[in-house]
Chains A and B, each alone.
Chain A
Amino acid sequence: MKTPMARCSSPKRSNALPRAVAIALLIIMSAFPVAAEPSSDRQVELLYFLKHDCGSCHGLTRKGGLGSPLLPETMAGRSDDDLTAIILDGMPGTPMPPWRALFTEDEVRWMVRAIKQGTWRK
């Protein structure tokens, strides 16, 4: 997914591409938008979900419960990709479910940053 987008973003190259390929890439791009920030309304929803729903298992103070602590200091050493994959696909054998049906990858990446920065706190 990254490659076509990177190529598309270069105007020179896209000019050089045959028209059919350019259209195909445009279609792909619209189906998989570039890692966009969620809208501000959606951000409010995501933060609310992080605090109150994730908090059911991970604690409203993020110190852990059935799930692991989600404090910025405990998350600092984890890569965004790993954490995003855990949220999207869950952790088999544990109660952490896959959330893919409820959130897009971009939304999860945004939530991961929020967890790491501790911005779920009011």
Chain B
Amino acid sequence: MKKISVMLTALLLAACTSQTMRATGDLGLVIERADGSALIVETTTHTQLARVTGLGDLSHASAVYSRDERYAYVFGRDGGLSKIDMLKGSIAGRVIQGGNSIGGAISQDGTLVAVSNYKPGGVKIFDAETLALVADIPAGSKTVGLVDAPGQKFVFGLYDSDEIWVVDMSVPASPAITKFTDIGHQPYDGLITPDGRYYIAGLFGEDGMAMLDMWNMDAGVTRILDGYGRGEKKLPVYKMPHLEGWAVADGLAFVPAVGLHEVLIVDLESWKQVGRIPVHGQPVFVMARPDGRHVWVNFAVPNNDTLQIIDVATRKLIKTLKPGKGVLHMEFTPRGEQVWTSVRDLDTLKVYDTATMKEVTSLPALKPSGIFFSARAHRIGL
């Protein structure tokens, strides 16, 4: 009898343990920018698991994930780099590494986290485990569009000096920097294609973009889309477009036009503009559903109450949604059956079914902005 009860206890314990075990693959982080907090959400059941506070000024915050998806690294505006434990819902480490920062990236092997700073302008690279400083790379300029690239590299733009730098961190103690100058005026953001081959910087100071082929860096930076939209009356740019999550689908890239109510279509073979799609406002995020069939677009103020969906096959707008004022960001579930959107002014996250384009559910969140799901851990450039 005693034996049986011991066995039962053991079984119960095992059951309890398995109930409390959790993996991180369907978790995500939602930045609550006004409160300096972040929500940890679970995407399968649309639930909020925890709120992590004390993350500082999150007015332009973004996050990357450790390769085991256990930790998120949040880059705050005030120079704070916070390491969040996604399972415990708490801060596992935090350093104030700069005065004013704009984003970051994690290295190919997951051991290094790089942060892009406006003040003092440059990039700092930290040990992903301990957050100890590994390399300090002053740039004398605001640094923008920092991404990881294959070969343990980081790539970023220099807004004030019209450059692109590639930092090879293969030997962490001695970063090898390759500098490209005169790449075009005022690079304001950058992205790397999902295969890690092409780094593309958007230019604020002129029409066009700058492209670096990581397979052939000797060829230097090439100008693409030179003069797009030139000669047209441009609107004031109420919000800088973001290039993160650049929509690459069907051999085409869909990119936000700067100062125009248009999404531009670029052929990835010729790097020429092959079309333009008039949209509701100035695009901010132009993001492809993971399967590439649809592209979702949100807009700058005063048109930020709207989302529009472009069908890649026909290159036409197929749907306009009105989630509410202040649609700041969207994030697809890993295989794209749903998309989460931040509706800042409603203090709400709205979740849409991407096939029916209907709202599935909503969750409360305080002035939500960026949404970052853990599946980003395994994607180059995110």
Contact = CB atoms under 8 A, between A and B. Distances in A.
Nearest to A60: B59
Given A52-B34, A63-B100, A64-B100, A95 B78 contact: no
Contacts of A65: 59-60, 77, 100, 102, 118
Contacts, number: 61
B91 interface: no
B interface: dominant SS? loop
B78 A98 contact: no
Contact of A52 (B237, B302, B326): B326
Contacts of A52: 34, 326, 344, 367
Contacts of B350: none
Contact of B237 (A56, A64, A97): A97
* Contact-residue size bin, chain B (C-beta under 8 Å from the other chain): 20 to 34
A49 B268 CA distance: 39
B57 A95 contact: no
A65 B117 CA distance: 10
Q: DSSP class of A's interface residues: helix, strand, loop or mixed?
A: loop
Nearest to A64: B100
Contacts of A51: 34
A55 B240 contact: no
A97 B344 CA distance: 22
Nearest to B58: A60
B239 A63 contact: no
B34 A98 contact: no
A66 interface: yes
A41 to B, nearest CB: 15
A95 B204 contact: yes
Nearest to B56: A61
A102 B77 contact: no
Nearest to B238: A97
A75 to B, nearest CB: 17
A102 B235 CA distance: 12
Interface string A75-117: 0000000000000001001010111011000000000000000
Contacts of B58: 60
B56 to A, nearest CB: 8
Contacts of B236: 90, 97-99, 101
Interface of A: 51-53, 55-57, 59-61, 63-66, 90, 93, 95, 97-99, 101-102
Given A93-B205, A97-B238, 12 more contacts: A53-B301, A56-B60, A56-B239, A59-B59, A59-B100, A63-B78, A63-B100, A95-B188, A95-B237, A95-B240, A99-B238, A101-B236
